[in-house]
Amino acid sequence: MGLFDKFQKEGPTGLDETRSLPFLSIADLLIFPSSTMPLYIIHPLGQKAIDFAMANDRRVVVGYLRDPNQGQETQTPKTLIESHYPIATQCRLIQVMKLPNNTSRVLVEGLRRVSLSTLEAKTETHLAGFEPVIDETTQKPPNPGLVRALKDEFETYGKSNKRVTKEILARVQGTVDPTLISDLICGVLSAPLSDRLEIYLSFDTLHRLEKTLELIRTEAEVLDLRKAVTDRVKKRMEDGQKEYFIQEQIKEMNKALGKGEEDDPSGLKELEKRLSEKELSKEVEEKFRSEFKRLSRLQSFGPEAGILRTYLEWILDLPWTTGTVASSQPSLSEAQNILDSHHFGMTEVKERILDFLAVRLLRPDLRAPILCFVGPPGTGKTSLGRSVAEAMGRTFVRMSLGGVRDEAEIRGHRRTYVGALPGKIMQGMKKAGTQNPVFLLDEIDKISADHRGDPSSALLEVLDPEQNNTFADHYIELPFDLSQVVFLTTANSLHTIPLALRDRMEIIHIPGYTENEKVSIVSGFLLPRQLENHGLHSHDIRLGSEAIKAVVRGYTMESGVRSLDREIAKILRKVAREKAYSQTKKKDFRHALVTVRTLEKFLGKPKHLPEAKYHQNPPGFTYGLAWTEFGGKILPIESAGFEGKGNLLLTGNLGEVMKESARIALTLIRQRAKDLGLGDFDFANTDLHIHVPEGAIPKDGPSAGIALTVSLVSALKRWQLASELAMTGEITLTGRVLAIGGLKEKLLAAHRNGRTWVIIPKENQRDLDELPVDIRKALTINLVDTIDEVFELTELVQDRPCER
């Protein structure tokens, strides 16, 4: 006979008998004997257990789930009892209230702890078989002192905790049963469930009492800490209110006595004074007065007041009107002298700046264009911005964009963020103090985007003359006129600048310097400046042009002059050391002589050896010309053929475009095999290998097309090419030679590396005007339209080796 049938047959029995009762399963709660607690029953099995208990003697057994997420619908009796803790609570239902959504609110009273023996799952409800829990009080009676200490601690705890009623305090004090004392106290403690569960599951009365005492003391410390924090906060608020009222009383008394405030702790008077001296537009002034009114109602020591005061100071610091224009503009002749005295060469740039200044004289209200200086590092792009500002008589501001990834760096942060500030554009305008400075955006090609936004998109409005008269910074929240600002930008390469941003700028290319130009720059600019920096005079050193050329060739090999400037400084440090040593020893120091022979004494061994130059190149070897963002360079190309299966091997870290040029070259050669004397050549059983040395450096672009073609023909015919020859040009499948970019830098690289004969596309003839006259005279330049002209120039179509 099952437990359910047995219960129905025998009816309810007393507390002292072993019996079965309807079973309730709960989690995250614990019902101690002699405590009352409300339960909300949602599960259908729980609802049936409640209904069954209410129809009988209102008693149930409440068990506690080990895992709160584990259900009980599909469990067997064995797994069902294993999913609960072994100790449960026999409870009496005091009140049951039906709520909407099939929920019941049940008020239960804990009667005693029981040990679960069986659980039987029935359709109507689950029935629990149980036995009363007998603690080990009789075997190990607790120390009376421990019971006394527990009661005293609970009485102290109850005075500071509103959950402990007078009835519970009285009942604990009047109870002699140690087990009941522990149950009464744990029923009202706010300790963690795991700690109270440890007490509930224990059979050792002594352990239960000790653990309960520990929990009371812990809870008492938590209550004391909370009270201390609350008291400190309350006192701080009271002190703040007191200070505010005292300040207000002082103000009123000073007004009654006709006296002004000697100090201005809130800063309001200073802001009012600055506002009266500042010329603002109507919109800006209305915004200022609105925020100023808010500030006057706030306590001066509050954090919000500090944020608002900083915002108002920013409004007053910015140059809003044209009344803060810079000093008068120099004449065109003065501007010309300033540019020439600071920079060597740069004819195109200087002409463009002088043109702009001339137009400004005729139309002062003209919106300034956006100029972008593009060139290799060390060519003077950044310093040119300072010279432009001086030539225009304006304030100069520089902002570096290298590594900027956050849009807020340009537009600022909104005032809702802690530590918010305007963007760098507004910070630069504040630093300038004028509405029309020269604003240099340095390294514009180095900005990039991430999850914080795209700074280049924020620059679109800044660098658009049609939009920047109402630039909106997120922090300022007012339109600011940037139309009078002369924006200059610098970049090493245009490829990484977004097209929309590039379209807003006028591109001015600044090429690298020739060897003679570098000599002039050292003599006229770098050496005088470094002499001053090192405390030397012009008569302390003799540095001739040949020595400077040796420095350029052996220690720098760059398009700009930055490394050259460092090498000159290194020489002067050695000279300064010799002079200081002579003064210490009281010897005469006439001057230091720096020549080509003595250069190693100052700079050590040369860092750059000249490119290995064959008397006549081996078959398959030729030179192309390449452009990088650091200037031009020569590009050695090697080709070889050997028995194989007609494959084309390409090595040297080549990009896709350059690989395509190599395939086009092979196709052209096969088309023109008869004219080249290769009519009987077995291409199907020959593998061709093209290699471009310095394989660690990526290479790409179409301009090596004719060099690749000539190298392959030279390898197949086993002919040698002239060692002084270099070439550049893009080829097509029909044999046309197309124009390329960066011609000046490429020809400078050819001259710098001792190549005197170059072949270039005829379409690039217009670019030769940019080449210095001395370089043009030093090079033999051939212009070609087709690949056949290249073959004729290199004599590859003749039946004899190439000689020139």
pLDDT tens-digit readout, 487-544: 999 998 888 888 888 888 888 888 778 778 888 888 888 899 999 998 888 888 888 8
Give Dmax over CA atoms of the chain in angstroms.
Answer: 129
What's the pLDDT band for 322 if we cut at 50, 70, 90? low
pLDDT at 11: 41
What's the pLDDT band for 397 if we cut at 50, 70, 90? very high
DSSP string, 714-752: HHHHT---BTTEEE--EE-TT-BEE--S-HHHHHHHHHH
DSSP string, 45-78: HHHHHHHHHHTTTSEEEEEEBSSTT---SS--HH
Three-class DSSP category at 116: strand
The span from the CA of 529 to the CA of 522, in Å, is 10
Cβ neighbour number for residue 580 with a 10 Å cutoff: 12
Catalytic residue (one of 661, 703, 714, 723): 703
Q: Mean pLDDT over residues 283-302, rounded?
A: 80
The span from the CA of 471 to the CA of 478, in Å, is 8
H or E element that contains 88: strand 87-99
pLDDT at 360: 77
Three-class DSSP category at 295: helix
pLDDT at 804: 33
Give yes or no for residue 347 having a pLDDT over 70. yes
Q: Mean pLDDT over residues 418-441, rounded?
A: 88
Q: Tell me the sheet residues that pair with 722.
A: 616
CB contact set of 413 (below 8 Å; sequence gap of 6+): 419, 420, 421, 474, 475
What's the pLDDT band for 173 if we cut at 50, 70, 90? confident
Cα separations (Å) of 743 from 367, 379, 723? 33, 17, 21
Respond yes or no: is residue 290 known to be catalytic: no
Q: Mean pLDDT over residues 663-684, rounded?
A: 88
pLDDT at 613: 57
Q: Mean pLDDT over residues 386-410, rounded?
A: 86
pLDDT at 243: 65
What's the pLDDT band for 73 if we cut at 50, 70, 90? low
Give yes or no for residue 253 having a pLDDT over 50. yes
What count of residues does the chain have? Answer: 804
The span from the CA of 567 to the CA of 530, in Å, is 11
Respond yes or no: is residue 300 known to be catalytic: no
pLDDT at 731: 93
What's the pLDDT band for 610 if we cut at 50, 70, 90? low
User: Half-sphere exposure of residue 779, counting CA atoms within 13 Å on the CB side?
Assistant: 28
Three-class DSSP category at 592: strand
Residue type, 684: A
H or E element that contains 521: helix 515-521
